Structure 1
Amino acid sequence: MTVGVLALQGDFREHCAVLRRIGVEPVEVRLPRQLARVERLIIPGGESTTIGRLLVMYQMLEPIRERAGRDLAIWGTCAGAILLANEVVGQKQGGQPAIGAMNLTIQRNAYGSQLDSFEAPITMPIIGEAPLPGVFIRAPRIVALGQGCEAVGWLEDGSVVAARQGRLLATTFHPELTGDDRVHRLFLEL
């Protein structure tokens, strides 16, 4: 299994470090030829508009769309989740290049600015009973799930913070910034 981490912008280094810690040597994906080599792709947190524009600039948006969920499992964290969503609340049409492969609606910066970032425990039975530490930095919020998309992680108030659709996974938090590698391991099993 070859796992890639989109390394155009954002916290890709942190994802790579977690993968190495659990025994997987990641491919840092910056070009189409690197994308063609991977069977799994992590799209990290960062700035979703910038990442989307870089995907277009480096001619990777269409190849990712074509492979998403088929021969390419994808996990998007924070900004990556925004890029995976087929609808972004409050966004102008055509305002941001996106993959749009998951039947979910997401709201950018739903909890406020950088100053409003927070940590909270997440209930995610798909990875075990113990709560998962959640780091939310200018985090989006999943506001609706469409056909075939299921919630797999929640905050204490019931807010959905993780969703799965086949071989696609979206988390609105940053598991790579904690010492808990269970979501990375889940992604490797998709």
Structure 2
Amino acid sequence: MVNIGILALQGDVAEHVRALEESGARAVLVRRSEELASVDGLVIPGGESTTMSNLLLSFGIFDQLAEQISNGMPVYGTCAGMIMLATTILDGRDDQRSFGAIDMVVRRNAFGRQVDSYEEELDIKGIEGKPFPAVFIRAPWVESVGESVDVLARAGNTPDGPIVAVRRGQALATSFHPEIGTDWRFHELFTRMVQRES
């Protein structure tokens, strides 16, 4: 069984723990350097990306995490976690840092404020079966991607809809929150990614 960490500084931590355990992984809460060193992969949950960036620096693990991601550790970012994995952030703060794991330009809060949150059924490339129930809460979207990035889903299931799920090698990201609900297929996909690297 692989150990998959959840960055436990803020956000939907408990929901990711449940989803990972339902997907056959051992979930590990990560707040310190030694916890980060013990995991085979990491989920960066939703929350507030600027606060998350600052907390990673305050806890002294930003550089360690950046190095592990750069060295190929599988990582999955949801919502704010997607922002943390981008190379370029639009509408972010000047002092905000990210890991640049996925060659993409992400716009913060692109879908609007909390009152604009919504759910839709998405067709996901690489995930079989019925459409995936995607919950968007103050979500970002991806404005553009580099050639190495695989677009997995677009809002509205249209060819020109905003990009809301991407993958580049061992890095996976979604605008939405797959940990909400009972459909674990994204966590199962990520667990398989981690198992292949372990």
TM-score after normalising by structure 2: 0.91
The code of the aligned residue for 1:84 comes to L
Describe the superposition over 1:54-76 as per-residue Cα deviations: whole angstroms up to 9, x where unpaired. 11111111111111153410000
Describe the superposition over 1:101-160 as per-residue Cα deviations: whole angstroms up to 9, x where unpaired. 210110000011000000011110301142000000000011100131110122223321
The aligned residue for residue 97 of structure 1 is: 97
Partners of 1:86 and 1:105 within 8 A in 2: yes
SS at match of 1:18: helix
Partners of 2:118 and 2:136 within 8 A in 1: yes
The aligned residue for residue 177 of structure 2 is: 174
Partners of 1:121 and 1:155 within 8 A in 2: no
Structure 1 residue 92 displacement after superposition: 4.4
- How far apart, in 2, do the equivalents of 1:186 and 1:154 lie? 18
The aligned residue for residue 25 of structure 1 is: 26
**Unmatched 5+ residue regions in structure 2?**
194-198
The aligned residue for residue 196 of structure 2 is: none
Aligned residue pair count = 189
- How far apart, in 2, do the equivalents of 1:151 and 1:71 lie? 20
- How far apart, in 1, do the equivalents of 2:68 and 2:140 lie? 24
- How far apart, in 1, do the equivalents of 2:4 and 2:104 lie? 24
The aligned residue for residue 145 of structure 1 is: 145
Partners of 2:25 and 2:191 within 8 A in 1: no
Partners of 2:4 and 2:40 within 8 A in 1: yes
The code of the aligned residue for 2:59 comes to Y
Give the % identical residues.
Answer: 40
The aligned residue for residue 61 of structure 2 is: 60
Greater relative CO, 1 or 2 (CA 8 Å, sep 6+): 2
Kindly report which structure 2 residues correspond to 1:1-190, keeping only aligned pairs within 5 A, or say none.
1-68=2-69, 70-93=71-94, 95-156=95-156, 157=158, 158-190=161-193
- How far apart, in 2, do the equivalents of 1:51 and 1:176 lie? 18
Moved runs in structure 1, 4+ residues, more than 3 A?
none
- How far apart, in 1, do the equivalents of 2:173 and 2:141 lie? 11
- How far apart, in 2, do the equivalents of 1:168 and 1:140 lie? 17
My pick for the range that moved more, 80-89 or 121-130, is 121-130
- How far apart, in 1, do the equivalents of 2:84 and 2:175 lie? 11
Partners of 2:142 and 2:164 within 8 A in 1: yes
- How far apart, in 2, do the equivalents of 1:166 and 1:70 lie? 12
Describe the superposition over 1:81-100 as per-residue Cα deviations: whole angstroms up to 9, x where unpaired. 0000010113343x212222
Q: CA RMSD in A?
A: 1.3
**Unmatched 5+ residue regions in structure 1?**
none
- How far apart, in 2, do the equivalents of 1:115 and 1:22 lie? 31
